[in-house]
Amino acid sequence: MTAGARNLYAIVAAVLIGGAGFGQVLTSSDSEPPKEMIWKGPGGCVVDLVNTPCRTVRYHWSNFEWAGGTTTAQYTEAFDRDGSQSTTAVTTHRQPWFFSQQTWYRTELVLRKEHRTIYIDHERKIYETLLRAKAMPYWIEDDSQCSHAASSRHLSQRIPDSVIAGAHVVGYRGRDAIGEYIEEYFAPSIGCQEMRSQFVMRGVLGFKTSEYDMTVDSYEIGPPASGLFKVPAGYKQVASFPSR
């Protein structure tokens, strides 16, 4: 992902929270598609549709662009047994030159049994409902070194293992076609989930022109809190979110 593309994704995802969801492993371009992983670890609660564990993941990321400012976000993402998904983000974007900033506090609820998606704006205490549900994130089989996860991101150089959010992780680094430095850590015990990512781009003189950093803060296996899948009391339903 290029620096410009990440900056666009960061802002769009923060406002709409419409991505595929934390936990999706990218598939490779091989002619033979990788096999979907079936969760056999501890926890008991398994997402029926894709055989992954019920879980609550908290993570944060920041995105810096020399000409576009800095975006930071705190995410809470949860997956329940029936495939329902809750994603809440508090995101702040700061402009580089005019000292202005914007903040979004929004939730996306994908309620699969009800075949609907609810978007919640916590700042204005409103929500809208759409009769649709996006694709469910799934995991793919991998080895103890997370080789497939690394190769799908074109990472070939191993770096020392570490521990993130209580999970043992294996690290890789590499560079993409435009010379962007990439470093990522994956957790073999939870389907080689991405636990930390860092991308850095530098100009011809070595100055940093863009940087993206994501780190998982906690990863809890088990049934998520039911309150994460409800619209807060007192919020008003609207036909669509009005523009700011």
Beta strands 126-130 and 85-94: pairing type?
unpaired
- In a domain, residue 45? The reply is yes
pTM of the entire predicted model: 0.83
Task: Give 155-209 pLDDT, tens digit per residue.
Answer: 989 999 999 999 999 999 998 766 678 999 999 999 999 999 998 877 666 677 7
- In a domain, residue 134? The reply is yes
Residue 102 structural domain: 3-141+212-237
- In a domain, residue 41? The reply is yes
- In a domain, residue 58? The reply is yes
The pLDDT of 117-146, averaged and rounded, is 92
Task: Give 13-29 pLDDT, tens digit per residue.
Answer: 443 333 334 555 544 44
Task: Give 26-76 pLDDT, tens digit per residue.
Answer: 444 444 667 899 998 888 899 988 999 999 999 999 988 777 788 999 999
Side-chain-side CA neighbours of 147 within 13 Å: the count stands at 3
CB burial class (10 A; 0-12, 13-18, 19+) of residue 172?
A: buried
Q: How many domains does the chain have?
A: 1
- In a domain, residue 165? The reply is no
- In a domain, residue 71? The reply is yes
- In a domain, residue 161? The reply is no
Side-chain-side CA neighbours of 163 within 13 Å: the count stands at 2
- Rounded Cα distance between 232 and 149, Å, is 37
- In a domain, residue 223? The reply is yes
